[in-house]
Amino acid sequence: MIIVLRPDATEEQQDHIIKKLKGLGLQVHISKGTERTIFGAIGDEAILQSVPLEAIPGVEKVLPILKPYKLASRDFRKENTVIDVGGMQIGGNRIAVMAGPCAIENKTLLVEIAKEVKAAGANFLRGGAFKPRTSPYAFQGLEEEGLKYLAETRERVGLPVVTEVMDPRDIDMIVKYADIIQIGARNMQNFRLLKDVGLCKKPVLLKRGISATIKEWLMSAEYIMSGGNHQVILCERGIRTYETATRNTLDLSAIPVLKQMTHLPVVVDPSHAVGKWDLVAPMAKAAVAAGADGLIIEVHSNPEEALCDGEQSLKPKSFKQLMDELRPIAVAVGRTI
């Protein structure tokens, strides 16, 4: 931690700061420059992370040196984390493709879509039973009934399933049915939920909050990991910017940034990012080219009748075409799909 003093910091203030740092078991390195005096606090920086140094008179600013997350950090684990879900891997050479409807609507439709996406090459089925909707008057999901359809579809079609949890009270129930538990963008900083999924044994797909920095996102991964569950998959799904031509702005540069900062696998959701089905394919291709470990894509047999996010759903035929187009790109970046 670097502490930059104000030019008018008194001797007394300086002594107070030094005493405080030493009292925390840190060594203090003093460097008097031409315009500012700087203190370097040497030792375990974590001690200082919760000390409001900027509240101390005489301090101009504080510059942290280390990252505030540990378990999620590439420093902590050099090699990539590969997560195994019933024989399918996420973070390995093969790109994971999770496809399916936004919301589970009924069993017949779910099975139909699952078969289609599997035939096209998807290796996971996505579908929501609990839906976070901006409006209290919108369809909120089939809840446990939907989870049952999901589990039945898995059996019939043979795809592991990903589904969202919104409430810590539902975790036990969801864990019974799902292979991967999803934390949605709006819950990325629902810290109670993070703690509780941190106690599960199931992999967690952690979506980036729509205005979360990459650092905050990794702190949320850290919450889950600090509970003992190290199977975290990060999912970029677009961030909120001033641009309104797309629903959100897909931040693909997060992929190479994350690959430097963390060992966790990174998946991209182009559907929610762009919000329009005819923009999904180019962004899915770009995600693979940028190094994503997986994709999560909304597919619906009849988008205009979908109960949720029909605008951004691909029809099975378009999804199949996309899969065909993705293959050579995956090969070009040394992967398979």
Which residues between 231 and 290 bind its own copies (CB under 8 A)? 239-246, 249-257, 260-261, 273-274, 276-279, 282-283, 285-290
Conformational region of residue 121, where left means phi above 0, alpha means psi within -120 to 50, and beta covers everything else: left
Minimum CB distance to its own copies smaller for 154 or for 230: 230
Q: Contact with its own copies (CB under 8 A): which of 93, 186, 228, 336?
A: 186
Contact between 173 and its own copies by CB under 8 A: the answer reads no
Residue 194, Cβ neighbours under 10 Å: how many? Answer: 26
* Closest CB 58 distance from its own copies, rounded Å: 11
Cβ within 8 Å of residue 263, ≥6 positions away? 72, 73, 74, 76, 77, 78, 79, 80, 81
Contact between 222 and its own copies by CB under 8 A: the answer reads yes
Residue 219 CA, chain-centre distance (Å), reads: 11
Minimum CB distance to its own copies smaller for 53 or for 173: 53
Can you give the length of the chain in residues? 337
Q: Contact with its own copies (CB under 8 A): which of 55, 79, 108, 201?
A: 55
Contact between 133 and its own copies by CB under 8 A: the answer reads yes
The Cα-based distances of 22 to 60, 175, 220 in angstroms read 19, 47, 31
Residue 321, Cβ neighbours under 10 Å: how many? Answer: 14
Q: Contact with its own copies (CB under 8 A): which of 23, 87, 108, 137?
A: 137
What is the DSSP secondary-structure string of 43-73? Answer: S-GGGGGGS-GGGSTTEEEEE--S-S-STTB
Q: Contact with its own copies (CB under 8 A): which of 22, 156, 169, 317?
A: 169
Contact between 66 and its own copies by CB under 8 A: the answer reads yes
Contact between 215 and its own copies by CB under 8 A: the answer reads yes
Contact between 93 and its own copies by CB under 8 A: the answer reads no
* Closest CB 147 distance from its own copies, rounded Å: 16
Contact between 38 and its own copies by CB under 8 A: the answer reads yes
Number of helices and strands in the chain (H, E): 10, 14
* Closest CB 114 distance from its own copies, rounded Å: 20
Minimum CB distance to its own copies smaller for 147 or for 159: 147
Residue 329, Cβ neighbours under 10 Å: how many? Answer: 17
Contact between 108 and its own copies by CB under 8 A: the answer reads no
Cβ within 8 Å of residue 58, ≥6 positions away? 5, 6, 9, 10, 13, 14, 16, 17
Indicate the residue type of 246: T
Rounded Cα distance, 126 and 42, in Å = 47
Binders of its own copies in range 283-322 (CB under 8 A): 283, 285-291, 303-304, 306-311, 313
Minimum CB distance to its own copies smaller for 102 or for 159: 102
Q: Contact with its own copies (CB under 8 A): which of 23, 25, 52, 87?
A: 52
Rounded Cα distance, 152 and 47, in Å = 49
Minimum CB distance to its own copies smaller for 230 or for 285: 285
Indicate the residue type of 188: M
* Closest CB 202 distance from its own copies, rounded Å: 19
Binders of its own copies in range 143-162 (CB under 8 A): none
Rounded Cα distance, 64 and 2, in Å = 6
Minimum CB distance to its own copies smaller for 55 or for 87: 55
Q: What 8-state DSSP symbol labels residue 94?
A: B
C-beta separation of 240 from 253 below 8 A? no
Minimum CB distance to its own copies smaller for 179 or for 309: 309
Contact between 129 and its own copies by CB under 8 A: the answer reads no
Count residues binding its own copies (CB under 8 A): 111
